[in-house]
Amino acid sequence: MNIGITVYPTYGGSGIVGSELGKELAERGHTVHFISSSLPTRLTELNERVRFHEVEMMSYPLFEHQPYTLALATKMATVAETENLDLLHVHYAIPHSISAILARESLKPKRRLPVITTLHGTDITLVGADRSYLPITRYGIVQSDGVTAISHYLKQATKEIFQFDDIEVIPNFICQSEYARHAVTDLRAALSPAGEPLLVHVSNFRPVKRPVDCVEILARVLAKGIAARLVMVGDGSERTNVEHRARCLKVYDQCVFVGKQPKIVDYLSAADVLLLPSEQESFGLAALEAMACEVPVIASRVGGIPEVVDDGETGFLSEVGDVEKMANDAGKLLADPELRRAMGRRARESAVSRYRTEIVIPRYIEFYERVLAK
Ligand code: GMT
């Protein structure tokens, strides 16, 4: 197949999932054309089967804001014609599904171009549910030729918010050979020179991820007399608040802020426990990646996380903001290496048996075939 994929290139899990999906499809013999404003971060290598088409935007004094949605639609239609695309697969409903539908409609007299939309989370729960975007998001979803969601929770939320449920649940996935715990002796020594165990948080530091809770948890763990350090991987608007709170709690010296990192798997291989105290999380790709690296997860019981993390088996779940319980659970794991290792082993087994690429990617391909056969 010749597949057009659109993602947000620089920000968030939906871009990672769309990019990794494209690479996996290319490995299975399909040709993938990424259409977006810049090269998606995870797309380090382009070749005959993985191609990139940049959306160009003309600026004009009359345009207060550049009309990206229209420029994207134009590029989608052009690429569909020149590259003979079989379908467009867009990740994150707004505005990508709207652009794709415009492209499809503009080509209607000449060719068929089915549109598949994958819903990832805040496109439904925050942005899409906002009154100003709700009708157009609903239009984008209903008019798509096929819709997938990354968890049962998200399918249910879409049904409640948009009264639409013709949705195939296809979860996030991991490459089991890439996401595997490996020796990172030097990195671990750099992050924890005195050998304390490591709590690790990975996110884009948006308010919805509640990264400030991580330093609250660390402070409570240290107050119990349990040695630990906190490694904060990523960057975003909440970082200054996190650093400020760490100073107020006098735990700043036990924190390491490493910013955005290209090789998350190295940090997960150095981790003892992952902290994911999010306010909302429709799947929790960070949890899955940690589990694949044998890291037990301490997370909020929200959204799709309970579908991924088994409370008491592969991690511990708590109500949003319950940093006391999260600290107790973290303390339990940090103080008991045997428990930590047993949970870590179960986490890997659970991640690989349910979410490995060999299981999930064929489900996307089958879904494409079903939509094309309609
Ligand atoms: O978080 C978002 O605003 C959207 C999206 C993104 O691009 O980061 O994240 C969502 O998609 C990920 C990949 O499918 C999921 O693993 C995340 O749980 C989900 N984030 C939220 O629901 C907050």
Q: What local confidence, expressed as pLDDT, does residue 99 receive?
A: 98
Q: What local confidence, expressed as pLDDT, does residue 242 receive?
A: 98
Q: What local confidence, expressed as pLDDT, does residue 131 receive?
A: 81
Q: What local confidence, expressed as pLDDT, does residue 73 receive?
A: 97
pTM value > 0.85: yes
On the 0-12 / 13-18 / 19+ scale of CB atoms within 10 A, 104 is buried
For 173, phi then psi, to 5°, come to -140, 165
State whether the beta carbon of 134 lies less than 6 angstroms from ligand 1: no
CA of 109 to the centre of ligand 1 (A): 36
For 35, phi then psi, to 5°, come to -120, 105
State whether the beta carbon of 88 lies less than 6 angstroms from ligand 1: no
Confidence class for position 20, pLDDT limits 50, 70, 90? very high
CA of 171 to the centre of ligand 1 (A): 12
Is the confidence at residue 95, as pLDDT, over 80? yes
Confidence class for position 12, pLDDT limits 50, 70, 90? confident
Confidence class for position 124, pLDDT limits 50, 70, 90? confident
Do residues 79 and 99 make contact, with C-beta atoms less than 8 angstroms apart? no
Atom of ligand 1 nearest to the CA of 12: 8
185-224 tens-digit pLDDT: 999 999 999 999 999 999 999 999 999 999 999 999 999 9
Long-range contact pairs involving 221-225 (C-beta distance under 8 Å, separation at least 24): 221/327, 221/330, 221/331, 221/334, 222/251, 222/254, 224/327, 224/331
Q: How many residues are present in the chain?
A: 374
Residue 101 β-bridge partners = none
For residues 294 and 303, give the distance between their C-alpha atoms in angstroms, rounded to a whole number: 22
- List the structure tokens of 175: 């490459």
State whether the beta carbon of 40 lies less than 6 angstroms from ligand 1: no
Pocket test for ligand 1, best of 8, 20, 122 (most atoms within 8 A of CB): 122
Atom of ligand 1 nearest to the CA of 208: 23
Question: SS3 of 353, please?
Answer: helix
Confidence class for position 296, pLDDT limits 50, 70, 90? very high
User: In order of start, what are the domains of the chain with their CATH numbers?
Assistant: 2-173+356-373 (3.40.50.2000), 185-355 (3.40.50.2000)
Query: Strand order of the sheet with strand 115-119?
Result: 50-54, 31-36, 2-6, 87-91, 115-119, 146-149, 168-169
Atom of ligand 1 nearest to the CA of 126: 3
Mean pLDDT of the chain: 95
For 342, phi then psi, to 5°, come to -65, -45
Atom of ligand 1 nearest to the CA of 118: 14
